[in-house]
Structure 1
Amino acid sequence: MAARQKKMCAASNYLISTDPTNLSRDTNCYLGKLRSNVVGTKFTFYDAGENPEKTPFSDCQSQRHKLATISYKQNVLGFKGPRKMTVVFPRMLDNDERLSTLHDTETLPSCRTSSITDEQVTLINKSPTWDAEKEIYLLNFHGCIIQPSVKNFQLIHPEDEDYIVMQFGRVTNDVFLMEYTNPMSAVQAFSIALSSFDSKLAWAPHV
């Protein structure tokens, strides 16, 4: 997959495609778009369907579905501490069909609410531990991710910190590693990873 940021937009807007040479909506390779709020702290990922506000008379099957929402919040330490994330996405059935879609009017739940309902899954990022000797925050990536970065994260179920659904982080200066598992799809994981690169105007940027 590949992504391209649309120009001349008030907020970040990324087109996601399976063709890195033609990242436009007018191809069969177009998968959807990731859109942020103005300050870059909340993101929504939509599939390749039509915007119901622009095509109000289109049938329900052709209208877009919300496949993930990603919310970033500051740590109590402000920009000196690690990010806090909440990710919500609709559940998938065993036959890879989507059970439901998140509604545009739906607000993100509390980080400590139940992680799985009949229609959606809620994940949070695992809190890193502070290493006083090295003066850095640490997460155990079991050797997969070797460079520190504010973009590094692991997504877990709130009730089970040992069940890591997704992890993402820096391997070299310009290479990052993404790993994910059930119940997340590849395109959902890609959109979540993409959101971590976007500028967060609400607090000072880090790399």
Structure 2
Amino acid sequence: MSSSNTHNYPQLTSSTFTSHPTADDSGDEGDMDATIAPQATTIRVTRPVDPTDFVLARPILSQKELNDLAFRPAALNTRVTCRICRFRDGFDKLHPQYKLYIEHLATGEIHHVMTAKKQRKSQTSYYTITGVVHVANASQPGSFMTEEMVLGKVRSNFLGTSFVLYSHGTHPDKKKEQDSSNSNGKDLDIREELGAVLYDPNILGFKGPRKMTILTHTLTRDGKRPEFRPETESDTLLAKYRDGHAKDLLVLHNKSPQWNDETQSFVLNFSGRVTQASVKNFQVVHDNDLDYIVMQFGRVERDYFTLDYKYPICLLQAFAIALTSFDAKLACE
């Protein structure tokens, strides 16, 4: 069952926080889909007002600020620009770590705000996402220490064709066990389901570039995200979508790239934010407006990527969607 309550995360605004190697895909996690290259020429689409870039003026100083940054949907007509760095040296080759930075394009200033770690000893792909908070160092006045706080997780099915994003919380079955045992400890709430990503099967990549479907809930009229904590499998986003009950869901897709005869490749216009061809490059749109890019993600170097997103998704959702693109997909390539 899902709750009718809403989060107190209406929209993300800057005022909330005021106070290399080769560029090909060789060696990646099993990628065999058709690569997507950045379009060579920029085509500007005139919209009513150009979006404003979100600026994080300083590091995150509290858990409340971290939650606001992670869970608030981007404000209307605002773009949040990010950078993701992948670390997979030594023993981390098969279990990489990804660090997300919010980037100020005008100054080049970056702030590390989230980290995702691919977990070992898991039968399916499983990422834990933590947020970075700077706290005062009591032993050295004026200095800060960093602390990591768990925000959520991303988990795939065995074939890597579907992924689900959860907030930090308790599995419904474990919650029932806690309630039945009359535990007096500080139990976590049932986890919130924040989104799901589906990849169309594409054995050996014969069907061309990947095809993605992203599921989340539509926002309320006042710009808030409905709280959604399913307690049974039939209430989940994936179950609702597959059963044809998608009335209250926001269904997005990746934009289909165009074939370019001159370059002999599929291309998308990333407006200079993506510079290298990769199977991982994608843009997310709604079928009713293919010119409004809800999110875009792509490679600039072998282990460096850019991630930009807009209303109505939040930073945690955008990061999780990007993580699904890194993962190997047995039935998709």
Higher helix share: 2
SS in 2 for 1:62: coil
> 1:79 deviation in Å?
4.2
Which of 129, 152, 160 does residue 32 from structure 1 map onto?
152
Deviation at 1:95, TM superposition (A): 6.5
After TM superposition, list the pairs within 5 Å mapping 1:2-13 onto structure 2: 2-13=115-126
Q: Between Structure 1 and Structure 2, how many residues are aligned? A: 194
- Report whether the alignment pairs 1:107 with 2:239: yes
Q: Deviations over 1:59-87 (max 9, x none)?
A: 8x810111010001146993461000000
| Runs of 5+ unmatched residues, structure 2 | 1-113, 134-146, 180-187
1:69 aligns with 2:196: yes
Alpha-carbon deviations, 1:127-177, whole Å to 9, x = none? 000012211100011111111111000000011101110000001111100
SS in 1 for 2:318: helix
Residue 98 of structure 1 and its aligned partner are, at CA, apart by 2.6
Partners of 2:218 and 2:249 within 8 A in 1? yes
**Correspondence 1:1-207 to 2 at 5 A:** 1-19=114-132, 29-56=149-176, 62-74=189-201, 78-79=205-206, 81-93=208-220, 97-101=224-228, 103=230, 104-105=233-234, 106-107=238-239, 109=241, 117=247, 119-204=248-333
Root-mean-square deviation (Å)? 2.8
1:54–1:80 CA distance, 2 compared to 1 (3 A): same
**Length-normalised TM-score, structure 2:** 0.53
Q: By how many angstroms is 1:55 displaced?
A: 2.0
Which runs of 5 or more structure 1 residues have no equivalent in the other structure?
A: 21-26
SS at match of 1:161: coil
In terms of Rg, which structure is larger?
2
Q: Is the CA contact (8 Å cut-off) linking 2:132 and 2:148 kept in structure 1?
A: no
The structure with higher relative contact order (CA 8 Å, sep 6+) is 2
Give me the whole-angstrom Cα distance separating, in 2, the residues matched to 1:66 and 1:38: 19
Amino-acid identity (%): 42
